[in-house]
Amino acid sequence: MSRTEFGIVMEPSAGYTARLAVEIEALGFDALLCPDTQCLSPEPYGQLSLAAVRTTRLFLGTGVTNPVTRDASVTAGALATLQKESGGRARCGIGRGDSSAAHIGQRNAKTAELRTYVEQVRGYLRGETVMRGETPSKMRWLEPGELPTVPMDIACTGPATIRMAADVADRITFAVGSAPERIEWALNTLNARLKETGRKRSTLRVGAYINLVCDPDEQRAIDLGRMISGMVAHFAGMKDSPVEHLPPQLKALAVQMKSGYDMARHAQNEGSHLQMVDDEFVDWFSICGPPAKCLDRLQPLIALGLDHVNLLGGSPVPTPHGARQEAMIRQTRLFAEQVLPKLR
């Protein structure tokens, strides 16, 4: 069995990202992923390029970007630059778009639009000519085959996106919560599509965004995990997303989130929607508690066949930006020291 890769999702923050990337690498993590959500955090690609200069083995990428706020050629150019700066450590985590689109009055992309975008970005990165309507488009500063492949990692929250990603992704990362039955459902949906198409599972890396807060005080961990639990539950209930497949614990909350999610306080430790997220739900949907509990909850998920795990954590310092990220990495140190070595 191959080694499970562990990454951290962290908002980029000017003056902090590169220094914290050094810490993340020293703690033993394999990847740093930065959200691309322009109204909530600084621009990720420049920050990731700075991190590339300060690190040697850490994979660096978006977690996630989207097809709404950047043209495919712009995203491809940013990724190609990061791939060159990092010596081949770039990754493109991408989803349909959520806060990045909502904060500029746009809708998130449909699954078919996401597929087209992924194929366009991949074409640009290969140095190919990409047809944009009737216009042939090409990154003229790239030679065909010049760049090592930048893996396209599609974040999946629902069945349609999972099926599409099974067809076109290099990597799939589920964003369905941390309950075993949710990961099993996502894997079963993926495997059914692979069986339909004949694609071999070995050609695809499969993982999950895992909501996790490791803290000796279980109640404190649950409180810190409430925001991330509510955010990922909201993904299940995004506009136009089906809810029929959801388990009862999540379905009721996802329906409420469709109209009751406070997007103005997305990814913040406050917001009226967090009143819907009780301790019992957080404990089921996320992994929150001391090291032994985190280990006990993570091991069965990895045993299901996850190739990688990207941690979505909480920060005891909500503001200002930068200090928040610094505190989150401090919070993660206990996991890195007492849990991560036992999962290697």
Say if residue 35 is preceded by a cis peptide, omega within 30 of 0. Answer: no
What is the arithmetic mean of pLDDT over 88-100? Answer: 94
Q: What is the dihedral of CA 335, 340, 341, 344, to 10 degrees?
A: 180
**pLDDT, mean of residues 261-275:** 65
Domain covering 5-218+290-343 assigned CATH 3.20.20.30 in the classification: yes
pLDDT at 228: 78
| CA–CA dist 5, 150 (Å, integer) | 17
195: phi > 0 → left, psi -120 to 50 → alpha, else beta; which? alpha
Mapping DSSP to helix (H, G, I), strand (E, B) and coil, where does residue 277 land?
coil
- The continuous run of DSSP H or E covering 93 comes out as strand 90-94
Supply the DSSP symbol for 305.
T
Residue 108 has pLDDT above 70, yes or no: yes
Q: If pLDDT is split at 50, 70 and 90, which confidence band does 258 have?
A: low
Q: Residues with Cβ < 8 Å from 16, sequence gap 6 or more?
A: 322, 325, 326
**Measured CA angle at 180 (ends 175, 184), to 5 deg:** 75
User: To which residue do tokens 């940013």 refer?
Assistant: 78
Nearest to 61 by CA among 84, 35, 39, 24: 35
- Judge contact between 313 and 11, C-beta under 8 A: no
Identify whether the C-beta of residue 253 lies closer than 8 Å to the C-beta of residue 170. Answer: no
**Which residue ranges make up each domain of the chain?**
5-218+290-343
DSSP 154-213: EEE-SHHHHHHHHHH-SEEEE-S-S-HHHHHHHHHHHHHHHHHHT--GGGSEEEEEEEEE
Q: What is the pLDDT of residue 237?
A: 55
CA distances 253 to 143, 222, 258, Å, are 49, 17, 9
* C-alpha closest to that of 248 among 285, 289, 221: 285
The set of residues, in sequence order, having a beta carbon less than 8 Å from that of 148 and lying 6+ positions away, is: 83, 88
Sort 19 into a burial class: Cβ within 10 Å, 0-12 / 13-18 / 19+.
Answer: middle
* pLDDT (tens digit per residue) in 158-197: 999 999 999 999 999 999 989 899 999 999 999 999 999 9
List the helix and strand counts (H, then E) for the chain.
Answer: 12, 11
The verdict on pTM exceeding 0.95 is no
pLDDT band at 242 (very low <50, low <70, confident <90, very high): low
Q: pLDDT of 301-323, one tens digit each? A: 999 999 999 999 999 998 999 99
Q: Which tops the pLDDT comparison, 131 or 255?
A: 131
Evaluate whether 7 touches 311 at the Cβ level (below 8 Å).
yes
